[in-house]
Amino acid sequence: MSKFPSGNEDVAVAIVWIYCNYKDRKAQTLDHFLGTIASQLVQQQTDLLSDVVELYKKDSSIREAPPDPADIMELLDRKSRCYHTVFVVIDALYECNNEDRTGMRLVDALRRLQPNFRSLITSRPLSDIVEKFENEPQIAIRALGTDIRDLVRSHLEVEPRLNRRIQADAKPGRFLEDAVAEKSEGMFLIAKLHMDALVKWASTVRWLCAELWTSCRKS
């Protein structure tokens, strides 16, 4: 968590963040996310101990289980009052468990908190997420085609099996740059996966180089 005082503790700003990971979907429940936000808020405050002890005592009969979400929401409500604004950054919301709608429930929970909570959420434009935020400000984050081509070019330069063909004739390289830029849909990750796959499958690389070289010579 980051805390930015402005000279007066009553107008401090807090930033907390969550990283969603599809590999941890079972562990990343709504309780987990709310607890993560709460822990980041309270760990910077001097009255941390009293809040934690109170919550622990309240759920003492089921200490092996996580605190009740309602109790965590109450704790968040109290602790957020110490800040002028609390920014919650959620990365890759689309990676949450869709079966129990963890991501959507998290968004709903944040919207029920104090009005000084502000959210910044990144996600792929899945239909349910787009619908959830249709009335919210949105910014499309896309890599430029020139950036994708730079990535492809850097792979071509360091991969000998591709580089030999490109050195002899530049047309296959330009063809490959255009193809990957088009298929990557503005995402570096997809472009990198395409290039990693070409490097991994040596036989495919040799075949592709031959095909590209032949096709470009004809064009």
Per-residue pLDDT of the chain (219 residues; tens, 9 = 90+): 555 554 455 558 899 999 999 899 889 999 999 999 988 887 766 555 565 556 556 655 545 566 777 888 888 888 888 888 999 999 999 999 888 899 999 999 999 988 899 999 999 889 999 999 999 999 988 888 899 999 888 888 887 766 766 665 667 678 778 888 888 888 888 888 888 877 766 455 555 555 555 555 555
18 in the same domain as 45: yes
Q: Which of 81, 97, 132 is the last residue of a domain?
A: 132
Give the total number of structural domains in the chain: 2
Whether 140 is covered by a domain: the verdict is: no
Whether 23 is covered by a domain: the verdict is: yes
Q: What are the C-alpha distances in Å from 93 to residues 88, 90, 142?
A: 12, 6, 17
Taking the C-alpha atoms of residue 219 and residue 216, their distance in angstroms, rounded to an integer, is 5
Q: Domain range holding 188?
A: 145-218
114 in the same domain as 73: yes
pTM exceeding the 0.85 threshold for the entire prediction: no
Taking the C-alpha atoms of residue 124 and residue 135, their distance in angstroms, rounded to an integer, is 17
152 in the same domain as 124: no
C-beta neighbour count of 40 within 10 angstroms: 20
